[in-house]
A and B are shown apart, each in its own frame.
Chain A
Amino acid sequence: SQQGEEDPQALSIQEGENATMNCSYKTSINNLQWYRQNSGRGLVHLILIRSNEREKHSGRLRVTLDTSKKSSSLLITASRAADTASYFCATAKRNAGNMLTFGGGTRLMVKP
């Protein structure tokens, strides 16, 4: 079973444009994380936002968290062809040993 659901499932944009991906989840969490995966490889951690935070930035990444709506968004600004990958949100479940479960992912293609 998967805790989160990403939207859209696939996104295709031109280089230089911004990419926005959304994640919804179901239970109470301690934190929400975003990961990136290049085809056939392991996942790489991008950013972690705690349940008491509303927004966080890291380079060209901006993450927001709305715990009342149980949703998060990841914004990648000024996208590059090298950003082409799958992006997953993951939630650390509260009162469950921070059980870390993933959504189905958004497949991002950035065209040069």
Chain B
Amino acid sequence: EAEVAQSPRYKITEKSQAVAFWCDPISGHATLYWYRQILGQGPELLVQFQDESVVDDSQLPKDRFSAERLKGVDSTLKIQPAELGDSAMYLCASSPQGELGTEAFFGQGTRLTVV
């Protein structure tokens, strides 16, 4: 069964360091999402791609966060420099193209701890 792959599963980093997360969506899925989820809260959309184009990144803190999906396949989310408040679960999801929207398939996430 096809899955969304994320790595690493866990990451501990010191504040002010750079950190990167990788996501490989299900083959053929045009839409890719990055979410941040703080413990006890719902996922917050950081960026949504349609192929290699950004659909929305209004909640992405662009002074420190960047995301790319260069060939419209896998994607990288980077934080530089990391801050204590960035500690959270970072979730990637993908969905097939659909004019009226389709279900999203989630990876297992990367749990980031900033110390």
A71 to B67, CA, bound (A): 33
Report the number of A-B residue pairs with Cβ-Cβ less than 8 Å: 74
Given contacts A42-B91, A88-B42, contact A100 B48 (CB under 8 A): yes
- CB-nearest residue of chain A to B58: A1
Tally of contact residues, A, Cβ under 8 A: 30
A101 to chain B, nearest CB (A): 5
Tally of contact residues, B, Cβ under 8 A: 30
Interface residue ranges, A against B (CB under 8 Å)? 1-2, 4, 6, 30-31, 33, 35, 40-45, 48, 50-51, 88, 90, 92, 96-105
Interface residue ranges, B against A (CB under 8 Å)? 4, 31, 33, 35, 41-45, 48, 50, 55-56, 59, 89, 91, 93, 95, 98, 100-109, 111
